Copies of this chain bind each other. A is one copy, B any other.
Amino acid sequence: MATVEELKLRVRELENELIKCKQRQAAAEDAHNRPRIDKMSAEVVDSNPYSRLMALKRMGIVDDYEKIRTFSVAVVGVGGVGSVTAEMLTRCGIGKLLLFDYDKVELAIMNRLFFQPHQAGLSKVEAAEHTLRNINPDVAFETHNYNITTLDNFTHFMDRISRGGLEEGRAVDLVLSCVDNFEARMAINTACNELGQIWMESGVSENAVSGHIQLIIPGETACFACAPPLVVAANIDEKTLKREGVCAASLPTTMGVVAGILVQNVLKYLLKFGTVSYYLGYNAMQDFFPTMAMKANPQCSDRHCRRQQEDFKKKEAERPKVEAAQEEEEEIVHEDNEWGIELVSEVTDAELRAASGTVPDLPEGITVAYTIPAEETASGETVEETEVSLEDLMAQMRKL
């Protein structure tokens, strides 16, 4: 039988072992963090996570890199494109990120970057926030684990993008659509048209080998209701696309490239360098990257888009002539970024349909995601007279 002394020794041993075990655990958790950094520095030391971003100033690329901390960006959809988009913005030191998604992490998405197998079962926004906060604790995060297309959530989403900026009450600087379905895209389009919120759209084809990004300035460039959304021509059998209930293909390469060109466009837009692209496509089969731009359609079915167009026209008219001329010159940095096409009443729905999926005037390599069914033109109702609600739009989209 053990003596009191032996037992005391054993207690001390066990206590020490337990302390060590707990310390190891705490260390493992702490190790995921770095201390916050109050002020971005350009100092070239191994411990400075911002030195290579601040070097963009010395290289003559960006005038004021520190300004990145004053911006807030909403990322809607934290999947193959959205998660990498959020990670890039986090590593660039963006001020605030708002993440919206209602999906869970599954092993089935391990073929794209970002999420890891041990996160399976967690909500995407929760898992993403945890990883991103570890990567850069200087970024403010706000996550919403819901579907933005339901009525209540849509109202809340509108509120957050109009008031959830870096200082509460201010709008976000940019909304990024990284969703994988039409309903969600239309919800973002509707919200941004109503709020006059500038946003960027991104998409990857269901065959995984093409994608695009698009900048939408309400009232100025075509919104999602102005014209059928543009996609990169697949050059492959269209019948394989968009079949109900069939698992879409995806590749980490295509999604990584699309996230890369999306966030590059965000950085160029926010930090004012280079040429911001209105539309940039990616055809991975041929390594072809078409660009273009498209004006807003005066007969757009979204009344808020038409109102924004009126406001834009007024502002343009009020602008001093000299300034306007200067800006025009600045905008046309290379010819691909001039306004390419005007999709207005000259192109009827019937003509679109007759073109069997392709609007004739689009640049090589770009096509439309769908054409408008003939039934709609036959109704006799002009687009101008219709006040289409979000619900109507969604119902229409579901049919397509």
Chain B residues lying within 8 Å of A267, measured Cβ to Cβ, are: 251, 253
Chain B residue with the shortest CB-CB distance to A273: B285
**Which residues in chain A, 82-101, are within 8 Å of chain B measured between CB atoms?**
84, 87-88, 91-93
User: Known interface pairs A274-B285, A288-B334. Does A248 touch B52 (Cβ–Cβ under 8 Å)?
Assistant: yes
Does A275 count as interface, using CB distance less than 8 angstroms?
Answer: yes
Chain B residues lying within 8 Å of A7, measured Cβ to Cβ, are: 4, 7-8, 10-11
Does A33 contact B334, Cβ atoms closer than 8 Å? no
Chain B residues lying within 8 Å of A28, measured Cβ to Cβ, are: 25, 28
Does A378 count as interface, using CB distance less than 8 angstroms?
Answer: no
A152-190 interface code vs B (CB 8 A; 1 in, 0 out): 000000000000000000000000000000000000000
Does A88 contact B252, Cβ atoms closer than 8 Å? yes
Copies in the complex: 2
Chain B residues lying within 8 Å of A34, measured Cβ to Cβ, are: 107, 110, 117, 120
Instruction: Write the nearest CB–CB distance from A227 to chain B, whole angstroms.
Output: 21
Does A147 count as interface, using CB distance less than 8 angstroms?
Answer: no
Does A284 contact B274, Cβ atoms closer than 8 Å? yes
Chain B residues lying within 8 Å of A284, measured Cβ to Cβ, are: 264, 268, 274
Q: Interface segment, A43-51, A191-199, A379-387?
A: A43-51
Does A263 contact B274, Cβ atoms closer than 8 Å? no
> How far, in angstroms, from A46 to B109 measured CA to CA in the complex?
8
Does A207 count as interface, using CB distance less than 8 angstroms?
Answer: yes
Does A55 contact B264, Cβ atoms closer than 8 Å? no
Give residues in A with beta carbon < 8 Å to B: 1-4, 7-8, 10-11, 14-15, 17-18, 21-22, 24-25, 28, 31-34, 44-53, 55-56, 58-61, 84, 87-88, 91-93, 106-113, 116-118, 120, 131, 134-136, 206-209, 236-237, 240-241, 246-254, 256-257, 259-261, 263-265, 267-268, 273-275, 277, 280, 284-289, 291, 333-334, 336
Enumerate 23 A-B pairs (CB-CB under 8 Å) in ascending A order: A3-B4, A7-B8, A7-B11, A10-B11, A11-B14, A17-B18, A21-B22, A32-B116, A34-B107, A44-B247, A49-B111, A52-B108, A52-B247, A55-B250, A60-B237, A84-B256, A92-B253, A253-B260, A256-B257, A264-B284, A277-B287, A286-B333, A287-B291
